[in-house]
Amino acid sequence: MKGKQAVLGHIGEHPIAVRYVDGRLDDVLVPDLDAPALGTIFRGIVDRPQKGMGAVMVKLPEGGTGFLRGAKGLSPGLPITVQMSGYAEPGKAVPLTDRVLFKSRYVIVTPYAPGVNISRQIRDEDKRDELMVAGKASVTDNGYGLIFRSASADANIEDVLDDLDTMMARAEAVMAESGTTPELIIEGDDPHVLAWREWADIASVLTGPTDLTDTGALDDLVTATGVLADLTFGSMFIEPTRALVAVDVNTGQSGPLETNINAIKDLPRQLRLRGLGGQITVDLAPVMKRDRKQLETTIKNALRHCPVDTEFVGWTPLGHIELKRKRERAPVAPLLKDL
């Protein structure tokens, strides 16, 4: 089918959201089976400092441990409101931020960044004016900041303002929390809520109890999350290790330059479908050094349209591409291992 479609369902008791674009599997959202959802807010207790790093370890509920950067001046024993900012590698502390955000479909409330900002995608001047007036009125008393997201452009103004009221009330309630022991304050969004929040441009949403299997979405996902990723000409092997994600590009009937271009254009989608992040090393099919600029431009353009923040780090002496990708997606493989 043409256009965008979402399928929401469950694998066992776990919610899952799958997105198609023009009939091709494009994205998937799953829960982490061993960690809270991204965006979960805790009251933590500052623990030991990490010397030379400007960071501290933070005690979390149920004996958990978090890692907070930019924590200069925080003394051990201090209660602090923190938010889970990424998924941890196995055996490591949970990444945290003290710049808590309250994010919804139409608005983001920013308690530590005052001001009202409106997405550039909202071009209707009358609507921008109405949102600006409402936004300034909502932050007058608390000094919070506010961002109207691009999804507000096509939304009914009443829906946007209702969302604003809900998120502002939530932010004020959470920031007013106090205590001296670690506590979970508010859980992050599950995959279904996250899909509603982030996939605002999808008109067709299937939510029936058997839609995940009836549409073939589950079969597509199992196929798409394997080690081998077939390209139009050639293939990629995508293998997560403890240290990094290794990507090996192999040529087929086309030349190495064309195969590499096709591979790196599709790489962000392939990483989304697997929920992979961290350090990514891409072993391309052999090409001349003069072709590197074209490949670098291609990967940067592909990453620009990916919702997961990914940085092009550079080239290794062996001619590999290195990427640094935020760990903001739960890995998909553990949820599918018993299927």
Task: Kindly list the distances between the CA atom of residue 96 and the CA atoms of 237, 273, 331, in Å, as whole numbers in the listed order.
Answer: 32, 24, 19
Residues 6+ positions from 154 with CB-CB distance below 8 Å = none
- The per-residue b/e assignment along 293-327, b for 16 or more CB within 10 angstroms, e otherwise, is eebeebbeebbeeeebebebeebeeeebbebebbb
Contacts of 205 (CB under 8 A, 6+ apart): 5, 6, 7, 8
Q: Report, as an integer, the average pLDDT of 58-76.
A: 92
Q: Which pTM does this prediction carry?
A: 0.92
What's the CA dihedral at 22, 25, 27, 29 to 10 degrees? 130
Q: Render pLDDT for 210-243 as a digit per residue (tens, 0 to 9).
A: 999 999 999 999 988 889 998 877 899 999 998 9
- Please tell me the class of the 102-178 domain: alpha beta
Task: Please write the tens of the pLDDT for every residue from 244-284.
Answer: 999 999 987 778 999 999 999 999 999 999 999 999 999 99
- 3-state class of 21 per DSSP? strand
Average pLDDT over residues 170-179: 94
Residues 144-168 have a mean pLDDT of: 96
Confidence of residue 110 (pLDDT cuts 50, 70, 90): very high
72 vs 128, more confident: 128
Task: Say if residues 158 and 127 touch (Cβ distance below 8 Å).
Answer: no
Q: Are 60 and 182 in contact (CB under 8 A)?
A: yes
Class of CATH domain 225-336: alpha beta
Residue whose C-alpha is closest to residue 4's, from 200, 203, 221: 203
Q: Is the pLDDT of residue 91 over 90?
A: no
Tokens 């809900």 identify what position? 166
Mean of pLDDT values over 46-71: 91
Average pLDDT, the chain: 94
Show me where the domains of the chain are located. 4-31+192-214, 41-100, 102-178, 225-336
User: Is the pLDDT at 2 greater than 90, yes or no?
Assistant: no
> Is the predicted pLDDT of residue 94 greater than 90, yes or no?
yes
Concatenated DSSP letters of 176-226? T---SS-EEEEPPPPHHHHHHHH-TT--EEE--TTHHHHTSHHHHHHHHTS
Q: What percent of the chain has pLDDT over 90?
A: 86
Q: For residues 103 and 161, what is the distance between their CA atoms, to the nearest angstrom? A: 14
- Domain 41-100 matching CATH 2.60.40.180: the answer reads no
Model confidence at 1, pLDDT cuts 50, 70, 90, reads low
CB distance 260 to 284 below 8 Å:
yes
Q: What is the mean pLDDT of residues 172-198?
A: 96
DSSP three-state, residue 259? helix
pLDDT value of residue 37:
95
% of the chain exceeding 70 in pLDDT: 99
State the distance between the two ends of the chain, measured CA to CA, in whole angstroms.
Answer: 26
